[in-house]
Structures are given as structure tokens and as C-alpha cells.
Amino acid sequence: MISLKDIDRYYQSRFQRTFVLKGVDMEIKSGEFVSIMGPSGAGKSTLLNIIGMLDDPSAGEYYFMDNPVHKLKDKQKTEYHRNHIGFIFQAYHLIENLTVYENIETPLVYKGIKSKERKAMVADILDRFNMVAKKDLFPDQLSGGQQQLVGIARAVIANPTLLLADEPTGNLHSEQGEMIMELLQELNKEGMTIIQVTHSEKNAQYGTRIVRLVDGLVREDIPTNAKSLVAE
Amino acid sequence: MNYIKIATRRLFKKGEHSATRIISLAAGLAFGILLLAEVLYYHSFDSFYPDADRLFVVHENFKMDKSSDKLSSYASTSGAIGPGLKAEVPGVEMATRITHMGTSVFYTEDQKKYKAQFILADEFFFDVMPRSMVEGNAKEILKSPMNCMISTKIASEIGGGVVGKVIELKEYPGKKLTIAGVFEELPENTNYEYDVVVPLISIGKFMWDGSDNWLGNDRYYTCVKLGKGIKPESLAPAVRKMQEKHQDIVKLEEKHGGMVLKYTFKPILKMHSDNLQDIILILSSIAIAVLIVSLMNYILLTLSVLISRAKSSAVHKTCGAQPRNIQQMIFSETAVLFALSLVGALLIVLAVKPLAENELGHSLGAVLNPIVIIPIVGIVIFIMALISYLPARFFSKIPVVSAFRQYKQKKNKWKLALLSFQFAGAAFILTTLVIVTLQYDNLKNSPHGYNTEGVYFGSTSGMSGSKIGTVLHQLRSMPEVEKVGLGACLPIYGASGNNVLSPDKEKELFNVADFYSADENYLSILGVSVQRGEMFSEKAAVRGDVIISQKGAEMLKINNGWTEGVVGKDVTITEHGNTTIRGVYSDFIVGSKANPDSRPSVFFYRPEAAFIKAAQKNSAYSFKIMVKVHSTAQTGVMKKIEKVFNSALPYNDAVIKSLSLEQGKRYTKQRGFRNAMVAGNIVILLITIIGLLGYATNEAIRRKKELAIRQINGAKFSDILRIFLMDLELVAIPAIIVGLVGAWFTVDKWMENFASKIPLHWGIFLGCSLFILVLVAVASTINFTRNANQNPVDALRTE
């Protein structure tokens, strides 16, 4: 599904080139649940942004569903956002002046789904996430956990093939975090490919594979149940 | 997505500056559009006539005097020119001639009094410049002597059912006109206003009939309608041929040594606007300055708000929004704010309507015509597109990755660039205001060369000649009255013209402002004294003797070689014949300082008894009675004078005026202009302050963390404030210089219209600059201090 070939991401100043990612090669198959780990500044979020087509690599090739992303125009990338990729953020990033209902509905509007169908889809997901009673509330009227639930509902409502989560539990207490991780695991089991960035070994265990980055380099890429040499 | 619903929600959200944005935009739109509408209104004059683009007003161009190289051009001709052009110039489809009888009081048979503007017009008047007839046939009426037709406005004042009624003008007692028709009232945007049209064939009943003259008596407003596609310049050869045939122009040219008279055609659509180029320049400049400042302020505040919402732009993009979708969202928000601002602007206009109508001199409803409305709608749409497009483009271009990483922390030099428009606008309009105000004061208050204090006057129009003597006696008996005098004309209203001839009477030397008759008291009431020779007196002057202004005396000396002086010399002046110069008086301002008549002036002596005799002989003859009161006279003296006048008027309708106030009215245009500047200045300064407050607040919030860290590291708040103000003033200084340069060019151009002008002293520019700089510093300091001077720990925590 995802193929990264010798990906570099660097920032060029007058005399110096500072690498955030260097020579990243990675293959992610459909249905995988990959956790990207590493210390601060390792390039985790940058890698996630490149996979999510929010940022462009400085060098290398990126194929998404066998299509060369590095050659795509912005408009084509938007089509992928509409149809294939969902995002979850640590800070939830709900749109503050939209209600819960409207936040969840947003991707469907941009996808061009008709109003009647949208209503049914949003009703289904509100029901699934037990948020029917909250649908008319605004984000600032919700707890952190509830906001993240809305964030996940918004990310998955258009039934994306790939879900990208940047520290989805970073702002939540442990109980809420567990609930979110279980939800992600459930979505993965339903066939959704998930890539999360996390600092938490515990949360990484919900996935099927762990990629460890250090100073922009992939230092380890192992199944969840394998023993890590880098982590120790 | 229902963008409008979402945009409406944002209105009430804290930090959106919605109220500030709406108020400043509404104020800018109200004032800017009002001024632009006024400028466009000037261009809409006479556009309501059918085929207005084919209507031309015939102008007479001639040399005022031989010494001048300049051709003077007037929108008036001799009476025969209109019919002549129609008959002898191919391409002239129709022609008409009209002439003013003046604004006059008239009476109906039931002794009721009304006021209207009367004109005399030939039978082709409504063919060329048509109005719908409510009653009667215009063509037939204009062929019938002593009939008239009146406007719907006057008909309604009289109370309807007017056809067949007889009216009588105050100035022409005994001359009765029968109302034979009613025409639709003229709109306000017309060059030639009238309420009552009297057939030109009746002219002999009211005044000397020169309607068939080919030369002289050039009092007719002649309007022609040209054939389709005919260029007025192409008519010149045929017009010349007509002049050769009827005016013997070749002989005239030979006599005067060159071109003396020619006719040109000016589009009726340009008649009004061409005379107001200076006002159009200034009003347009103010309007554009106000609109730009308010737009830049709106964009500044909007962009500041959008920066704080950068993340939401990124979120929309991750949900699949294209830049187009983001732009639609911002466009909807702008549409809601703009609609509210327009409503606000409309409310402001309605609130200031009485004041605006008073200053503009016409109803605001008069501007509701296509020539004004279409461009204004276009401008409004353009403004909306601009203030939508720029923020929308900016918002949609924010990179997603940057937006998620504290986008608001980036440097915001663009805010200063937008603010600089406001500083430039404020400097421009403040400086212009100061100069316009000083110039207005200079025009109004500086000496005009004659006295106006304690001088009152009234006309003898409508007064029986036999009663004038009694009136004069009663006035002189009043303890408040110092002196009473008689005269035909007043300096404030300008003067007619006649030519001074050479001693051999072969050449016209120069044209003079002819004040016609004055008695022995007239000039002393005005405080005009004779420098050489003698003032008029019963003993030293005979009727018809002349006194001349200093400038005229100098010109006579040069032209006639009278090196020993002009007093006692005989001189011939057209219309008056041969006369003797009795004295020379100091030049004074004829007309107003805003538009002074630069010709020399003359007065002819007419003793009091001769004035009275003339009035007794001809009931239509009227003159001014001038009354000078003692400086101790109470304010009610005007009423007392009016009472004396009314004792001799059958309808008790005397109008007594103060010369001082009437002189002030000569500067109404300049005063209106000054007031427009004051209003513009208030609006711009208000918007600039709003912009500064918004900027200072946003900067304080944006730099909260930086300020906190600086404070923790030992900086005082005053150090931080100094850095902030330095940034601001460094932008303000060049912007103010730009504004000052704009103001200099604008007022310099405007001042070209005045003979008497104030010097453009550098101190004015410096003072205005300092005022703006201080305003910038004070407004910013207050708001920056209020928002930024907090505990650094709190600032870092919230960060």
C-alpha cells in the first residue's frame, strides 16, 4: 500500500543542510497497524506528514497504492485526502465553531456525498461512538476524551483505507487513552490500515509492527511481538 | 456545508474583532460612498434628457479686452444665434434659446404669495430639452404671449387646478400671466433650473427685447441638438459662414486686429462637472483615501484573526478541502460582515442625511440615478471582491504542516505594511484639512476692501416709487441708523460688464465691472474712500459722472498716456456714453475671494432724487437701499428695518439682508468643502485608531511568550514598549511622508483656483506629521500596555 524509497527530508540554510529524515525505506501493507516510535526530534511526525501527503520529501520516492505521490499535484493529493486518508491529532484539532455533528460531517461534505446520505452516515457513527447526545455541542463543551472520539469519528467517517494518528492519546489520561487505543485496534481489525506516532511502548503494543526512528534514520522495524534491541 | 450559517456563528465569537471590523468598514463605506456618489452626481447633470449625448450648449468665446491673450468663454449668446444655427448650420437638428427672469416672488389672484424661478423660452424649448406635460400643450403655450406653464411642484404648492389661473410677478407689477399648462418638475441634477416657463415672445412686456440680436444682449442660454454622429468641431466652417453673413465678423476682426468672437459647442453632460474639476479632485481624493484606509484596516484585522485560525484551515485540508473550498468559506464570512457593514453604512448615511443634504445643497435622493448607482454598485462589488479575495487567498495558502506548528508565531511585517496605508491616509487627510480650513478662514475673514459690519440692505422691488421717499425718511429717523444710501449693485454679487473706449472711440481698451448707479452715500456706507479726486456729492458731481478703481485708473494711464492722472478726464464707456472721471478709489474684491472678478470697476453717480424718479417712471425698476447702523445698534434692528420696508410693500414681503452674512454665503462652497474634510478626517482617524488598537492587541498576544522571556531575563516593560514603538514609528514616518506629498499635490492643485491663497508653510506639514506620530504612539502604547503587561509566568503558562 505504501512504499517509501530512500526518503530524505532536510532544511537548507545558506551553508548547511539539516536532515530530519535520511534514507528512509519502508513498505507498509494494507491492513497493518504500524507504530512509529522514537525520541523527540527523531522525525516521527515529519514521516507521518509525508505519508499523509501534508509535506513533501526533499528527495526519494513515495508510492501510495502504487501511485507516485512525489509526482502528484496538490489537487490529486486532495483527492487522496477525500477518499483514502484520515487524520487523528494529539490536540484533536476539531473545528471550534462547528458542532460535533458538523465536525464529523466535514469530510463527507468535501467528498461530495449528498445530504441525505451524509445524515445517515453521521448518525451511524454517532451511534457507534455513543455520542448521539453530544451531536449539537461545540468542541469546547466536551472533555478531552470526547473531543478525541469526535476526532476519530471525523477521521474514519469517509471510510479511509489509511488512518494516520499523531500521538492520539498524548493529551488524554490513561483510561481515556486505553479506550482510544482499543477503538483504533478495532478499526484495524475491520481492515483499516493505521499508522500511529507514539512515545508510549504500551500504546505501540496495540499495533502489529513498530518502526523506531533515531536522528531521522530507521533504526529498527520489527513486529510488535518481537524483542526490540534499540528500545533496551 | 452551510458557510453562511457558520459565518454568522463566528460573528459573536471572542477575538474575531467582528464589531470593530463592521464599525470601521461601515464608517469608511458610508463616507467614501457618499463622497463618490457626490462626484458621480456632478457627472449626472442633465443626463435625464432624451439623447442627452447629442445636446450641446453654445458658448460664446471672445477677448474680454484687447490687452488679454485669453479667450473668455460663456454659456450665453445673443438671441438670434440659436435660430440662426438651426437655419444655417447643417447638422444642427434643433435649437432653442432660453433666458432667466430670475427667482421671483409671484402672487395669485387670491393674494397668496409663492416663490419660483422664472425663465423665458422659445417654442422649441421642449423639443430640445423635453419634460412631460401633465396638463396643456407646451408648443402651443410657448407660442402664446403672456401665457405660462408651471412645474408640478409649484402647481402642488398652489393647490392644484391651476390651469386658467392668473399670476403676477412682484418685480413686474401689473404684468399678468395666465397658467396654461403644467410640466413635470425637473430633477435636481440640472444645470438650468426653472419652475415657470414664460413664452419668449412675451419678453418685451418685461424687459428690452433683444431676442433677434446677432450681436450684444448675449443673455441667452442656447442649446442645440446635433444629428446622430455629428461632431461639434465639424460645424465650425458653417458657423463661421453664418457669422460672416449676419455679424459682419470679417470687418469686426479687421477693426480689432484679430479674432474677436467665435462659437463653440460644449456637451450638456459636461456643463456641470467641467466647472467643478477642483472639487471633484479633492472629493475623489478624500473618498479614495477613506475607502483605502478602511479596506486596509478591515484586511489587517481580518488577516490577524485568520492567523489565529490557521490550524482550522489545515484541518479542513486534511478533511479533503481544496483551496477553492477554503476560499468559499472566507468569502461567506466576508459576505456576512460586508452585508452588515453595508447596513451600518446605510444607517450612518440616514443618520447624517439632514446634515449631508445641508452641506451638499441637494437631497440625497437626487443621486439615485443610473449614472451614480451603476458605478457605485460596481465599486461596492469590487470592494467586496477585494476584501474577500485577499484574506481568502492568504488563508487557503497557509501550509498545513506550518499551521500545525504555531503558525501565529511567525513575523508579521505585512501588518505594518497594511497599517502604513492608514498612516499615509491619516497624514494626507489631516494635512489637507488643515490647509483647506486655513484657506477658508483666509477667504472669509481677511479684508475684502470694503466694510460689511452693520450694513443691511433690501430691494425696492415691488415698492411703489411714490413711497420710496417716505421709506428713506423713516429709515433716517431711526435712532440706530447712521446712514442710508442707494445703489444698483453690490460687490458681493459681482457686476455686469461694459467696455472703456479709447479717446478717439475707435478701440475698446478694456472691460470693466460696471456697478451702474450709486448715490453720494453708497460708497461711504461700504467704507470705500476716494484716493484721488472727489467722492460723489450733490455739489461736486453731476448725474452720470464716474469714479473708477485704482486698477482702472492705472490702465487708463497706460493706454491713453495720461501720466498726470485720470481725475477730470472724459472717458467713453459703452452703454453709458461720454462721462467725466470724478475720482479714483482703492480696489476691492468684486464677487468673492474664491472667484474674484479681476476687472477694474466703476460706479456712476445718480442722485437720490433721480433713483426715486426712475422708480416712479418705471414700476419694474428696482435698486438697493443700503442702511448703515451704529455700532451700538441692538440685534433687533434688522426687524425694524424690515418693518419700514414693509410699510411700502403691498404684500409685506420685504427681505432685509445683512451684508456681512451675505458675504459669508459667498463661501458656502468652501465651507461645505471644509466640513467634508472634517468629517473625512474624523472617519479616517477613527479607523486608524481602531487599526492601531487591533494591531497593538494582536502584537501583544502574538509576542506574549517573547515578552515574558525578555522580562524574565531582566528587560523592563518600558524597554519592550520602546522596541515595539520603534518598529511602528519606523513604518509610520515614511508612510506619513507619502501622505504629506499627496496632500501637497492635492492642495496645490486645488489652490490654483484662488487668487488669494495662504502660503503652504512647512510648519503645517511638520505639525500634522507630529500629530499623527503622537497619535500612533499614544494609541499603541495604551493598548499594548493593557494587553502585554502581565505576569510573565502567566504568559508562559498559557503559552
In tens, the pLDDT along B422-458 reads 889 889 988 988 998 888 888 877 888 999 999 999 9
Contacts of A177 (CB under 8 A, 6+ apart): A169, A200, A203
pLDDT in the model for residue B265 = 95
Per residue in B733-792, pLDDT tens?
Answer: 999 999 999 999 988 888 887 777 888 899 999 999 999 899 888 888 887 777 666 666
pLDDT for residue B111: 85
Q: What is the mean pLDDT of residues B551-578?
A: 90
The predicted-structure confidence for B186-217, as pLDDT tens digits, reads as follows 999 998 999 999 999 999 998 888 899 998 88
* Cα–Cα separations (whole angstroms), residue B715 to B6, B615, B710: 43, 90, 5
Q: Considering the domain boundaries, does residue B202 fall inside one?
A: yes
Chain B CB within 8 Å of residue A81 CB: yes
**pLDDT category of residue B103 using cuts at 50, 70 and 90:** confident
Looking up cell 424661478 gives B117
Domain that holds residue B673: 411-447+665-799
The partner residue sitting opposite B6, judged by closest CB among A55, A98, A154, is: A98
| pLDDT at B336 > cutoff 50 | yes
Which of the listed residues B591, B620, B649 is the one where a domain comes to its end? B649
The minimum CA-CA distance between B687 and chain A, rounded to whole Å, is 28
pLDDT at B66: 58
**Cβ of B782 under 8 Å from any chain A Cβ?**
no
Backbone φ and ψ for B716, nearest 5 degrees, come out as -80, 160
Could you tell me how many CB contacts below 8 A there are between chain A and chain B?
Answer: 59
- pLDDT, one tens digit per residue, over B613-635 is 999 988 788 999 999 999 888 77
Chain B residues within 8 A of A54 when measuring between CB atoms: 314, 317-318, 400-401
CB-facing half-sphere around the CA of A22: CA atoms within 13 A: 12
Pairing of strands A59-64, A33-37: unpaired
CB contact under 8 Å between B318 and A95, yes or no, is no
pLDDT at B546: 94
Give the integer Cα–Cα distance in Å for B582 and B605.
Answer: 10
The confidence band for B351, taking pLDDT boundaries of 50, 70 and 90, is very high
Q: Which contacts (CB < 8 Å, 24+ apart) does range B570-575 have?
A: B570/B503, B571/B500, B571/B501, B571/B503, B571/B546, B572/B500, B572/B501, B572/B505, B573/B498, B573/B499, B573/B500, B573/B501, B573/B512, B573/B514, B573/B546, B573/B602, B574/B498, B574/B499, B574/B501, B574/B508, B575/B498, B575/B514
| Whether the predicted pLDDT of B228 surpasses 60 | yes
Does B596 map to a domain?
yes
The arithmetic mean of pLDDT across residues B346-372, rounded, is 89
Q: Report the gap between the CA of A80 and the closest CA in chain B (Å).
A: 8
In a domain, B197, yes or no: yes
pLDDT digits (tens, 9 = 90+) for B683-735: 888 888 888 787 777 777 777 777 777 777 777 778 778 887 888 888 889 99
Give the pLDDT score at B398: 83
Q: Which domains does chain A have, with CATH numbers?
A: 31-57+68-223 (3.40.50.300)
What pLDDT score does B799 carry? 41
A215 part of contact set with chain B, CB < 8 Å = no
Instruction: Classify residue B181 by its DSSP letter.
Output: E
Beta bridge partners of B497: B513
Check whether B798 has a pLDDT greater than 60: no
Compute the distance between CA of residue A25 and CA of residue A211 in angstroms, rounded to an integer: 11
- The rounded distance, in Å, linking the Cα atoms of B556 and B562 is 7
What is the ipTM score, two decimals?
Answer: 0.87
Quote the cell numbers at residue B151.
412645474
Asked if B318 and A55 come within 8 Å (Cβ–Cβ), the reply is: no
B332 reaches A (C-beta below 8 A): no
Is A107 within 8 Å of chain B by CB?
yes
Alpha-helical regions (H) of chain A: 44-51, 74-83, 100-111, 115-128, 144-156, 174-189, 201-204
Where does the pLDDT of residue B794 fall: very low under 50, low under 70, confident under 90, or very high at 90 and above?
Answer: low
**Span A15-33, average pLDDT:** 90
- B497 and B616, same domain (yes or no): yes
HSE-CB of A64 using CA atoms within 13 angstroms: 19
CA-based nearest residue to B326, from B3, B754, B779? B3
Last residue of a domain, one of B588, B623, B649: B649
Quote the crossing angle between the two packed helices B277-308 and B413-445, to the nearest 10°. 150
Do residues B637 and B725 both lie within one domain? no
Task: Name the 3-class secondary structure at A5.
Answer: strand
Neighbours of B612 (CB within 10 A): 20
Q: How confident is the model at residue B254 (pLDDT cuts 50, 70, 90)?
A: confident
pLDDT given for residue B96 in this prediction: 97
For residues B266 and B292, membership in a common domain is answered with no
**pLDDT at A125 exceeding the cut of 80:** yes
Whether B326 and B221 map to the same domain: the answer is no
Sheet hosting strand A162-166, strand order edge to edge: A85-89, A162-166, A193-197, A33-37, A209-214, A217-223
B401 contact residues in A (CB cutoff 8 A):
49, 54-55
- How many whole angstroms separate alpha carbon B498 and alpha carbon A29? 105
In this predicted structure, the answer to whether residue B219 has a pLDDT above a threshold of 70 is yes
Nearest to B318 among A54, A83, A102 (CB): A54
Is the confidence at residue B409, as pLDDT, over 50? Answer: no
Residues B511 and B615 in one domain: yes
A110 with B321: Cβ contact below 8 A: yes
Query: Which pLDDT does position B174 carry in this prediction?
Result: 84
Residue B320, chain A, CB below 8 Å: the answer is yes
Asked if residue B279 belongs to a domain, the reply is no
Cell numbers for B376, please give them.
457605485
CA B95 centroid distance within chain? 29
pLDDT for res B303: 82
Say if the Cβ atoms of A96 and B312 lie within 8 Å: yes
Is the CB of residue B677 less than 8 Å from the CB of residue B433?
Answer: yes
Contact B400 A54 (CB under 8 A): yes
pLDDT, position A130: 87
Mutation for B interface: A44, A94, A95, A150, most B CBs within 10 A: A95
Residues B496 and B522 in one domain: yes
**Phi then psi dihedrals of residue B173, to 5 deg:** -60, 140
Range in B356-370, B396-410, B451-465 the model is least confident about = B396-410
Question: Confidence class of residue B69 from pLDDT cuts 50, 70 and 90?
Answer: low
Residues B150 and B290 in one domain: no
Domain membership flag for residue B454: no
* Residues B435, B570 share a domain: no
The per-residue pLDDT for B765 is: 94
The most distant pair of C-alpha atoms in chain B lies apart, rounded to whole Å, by 105
Q: Is residue B412 predicted with pLDDT exceeding 70? A: no
User: Residue A104 — very low, low, confident or very high, per pLDDT cuts 50/70/90?
Assistant: very high
Contacts of B317 in chain A (CB under 8 A): 54, 78, 81
Residue B791's CB is within 10 A of a number of other CB atoms, namely: 10
Dihedral (Cα; B330, B335, B337, B343), 10-degree rounding: 180
User: Does the structure show a pLDDT above 90 at B378?
Assistant: yes
CB atoms within 10 A of CB B216: 11
Q: Are strands A17-28 and A85-89 parallel, antiparallel or unpaired?
A: unpaired
B315 to A55: CB separation less than 8 angstroms, yes or no: no
Most B CBs within 10 Å, among A76, A77, A84, A98, to test the B interface: A98
Residues B267 and B292 grouped into a single domain = no
Q: Which of B243, B271, B299 represents a domain boundary (last residue)?
A: B271
Half-sphere CA count of B635, side-chain side, radius 13 A: 0
In a domain, B622, yes or no: yes
In degrees rounded to 5, what are phi and psi of residue B65?
Answer: -150, 160
Tell me which residue of A6, A8, A20, A24 sits closest to A219, measured CA to CA.
A24
The answer to whether residue B260 is domain-embedded is: yes
Q: Contact A213/A34 with Cβ under 8 angstroms?
A: no
Give the model's pLDDT for residue B289. Answer: 86
* B428 and B327 both lie in a single domain: no
Residues B699 and B719 in one domain: yes
- The CA distances from residue B762 to B341, B744, B768, in Å, are 39, 10, 10
3-state class (DSSP) for residue B196: strand
Cα–Cα distance between A221 and A229 in angstroms, integer? Answer: 10
Q: How confident is the model at residue A231 (pLDDT cuts 50, 70, 90)?
A: low
For residue B284, which amino acid is it?
A: S
Residue B18 to chain A, least CA–CA distance (Å):
15
Lookup result for grid cell 506619513: B736
Residue B405 lies in a domain: no
- The number of distinct structural domains making up chain B is 4
Of A83, A89, A97, the CB nearest to B13: A97
Cα gap B699→B262, rounded to integer Å: 67
State the average pLDDT for chain A: 89
Q: How far apart are CA B138 and CA B130, in angstroms?
A: 9
- B26 and B91 together in one domain: no
